[in-house]
Amino acid sequence: MASTLRYVSCCLLASAAVAGCASDDSTEDTSTSEAALSSSEQTAFNFFVAKGLTKVQAAGVIGNLMQESSINPKAVQFGGGPGRGIAQWSVGGRWDTSRSDNVTWYANQHNESRGALHTQLAFIWYELTTFSGYGLGSLRAATTVTAAVTAFQDKYEICGQCDSSRRISFAQQALSAFGNRGAGCFSGTLNKEMPDNACVQSKFDHLWWQCDNGSWVDRWTDPEPCNGIHPL
């Protein structure tokens, strides 16, 4: 699905040294499924709203992740830097080394791929709720897009050259694009938006997926009944 947000990738800017620029890492694949084909921006936005953040606060997170990686879970920092994934966690640190606080460890603990969008979103939430220094309190106190962007930027991303104005712009676009939507999911199989709890058999892997508050999940892990069944 084409991205709803219209933006110019930070890596195409003349100032390619801006912190957070990332390119695609084709060596680490994600599953081809209904979940993988959803809009990554909307999936991430709905994920954080489902966790209890307001839409303004969720937009602040999305604005940061857009600047860091365009919410590409396979992103590698532009120019060969250490940043990886949607939040550009560093190799040698929060990507694969920090004790009980790195993406690789978290993925292994949950038998998931570290290159999967949902794994990386869940890891962000794990860090926010486990380590107070990453600023969940400040994020939850934010009532404006600027405050939400700043809270996540300063305490979670801890970036060098942050380019806050671009992060705020991305966040405002996300709030405008997704803030008034319901919690549906885009189906790559049916090529249309599906309502919450719709169950679709994917043409990509033949598995059953259920829309769960904006994200596709394994049908058999969701206790809610299907709101419409769509076999191949």
Tokens of 2: 């084409």
Query: Can you give the pLDDT at residue 8?
Result: 33
Q: 39-181: which CATH number, 2.40.37.10, 3.90.1150.10, 3.90.550.10, 1.10.530.10?
A: 1.10.530.10
Contacts of 14 (CB under 8 A, 6+ apart): none
Where do the H-state alpha helices sit in the chain? 34-37, 40-50, 55-69, 103-109, 117-130, 136-141, 145-152, 164-178
Predicted confidence (pLDDT) at residue 33 exceeds the cutoff of 70: no
pLDDT > 50? residue 7: no
Give the mean pLDDT of the chain. Answer: 83
CA distance 87 to 67: 9
Rounded to 5 degrees, what angle do the CA atoms 8, 10, 14 make?
100
Place of tokens 């570290």: 114
SS3 for 127?
A: helix
What are the residues whose beta carbons fall under 8 Å from the beta carbon of 180, sequence distance 6 or more? none
Indicate if the pLDDT at residue 157 is higher than 70: yes
- Distances in Å between the Cα of 147 and the Cα atoms of 97, 154, 171 are 31, 10, 11
Looking at residue 228, its pLDDT comes to: 92
| Listed range (20-24, 37-41, 48-52, 120-124) with the worst mean pLDDT | 20-24
* Out of 12-16, 61-65, 87-91, 183-187, least confident range: 12-16
> Could you tell me if 54 and 96 are in contact, meaning their C-beta atoms sit under 8 angstroms apart?
no
Residue boundaries of the structural domains of the chain: 39-181, 182-231
Q: What is the pLDDT of residues 99-149, one digit of tens each?
A: 999 999 999 999 999 999 999 999 999 999 999 999 999 999 999 999 999
pLDDT-derived band at 181, boundaries 50, 70, 90: low
pLDDT of residue 56: 96
pTM, entire model: 0.69
User: What is the pLDDT at residue 24?
Assistant: 52
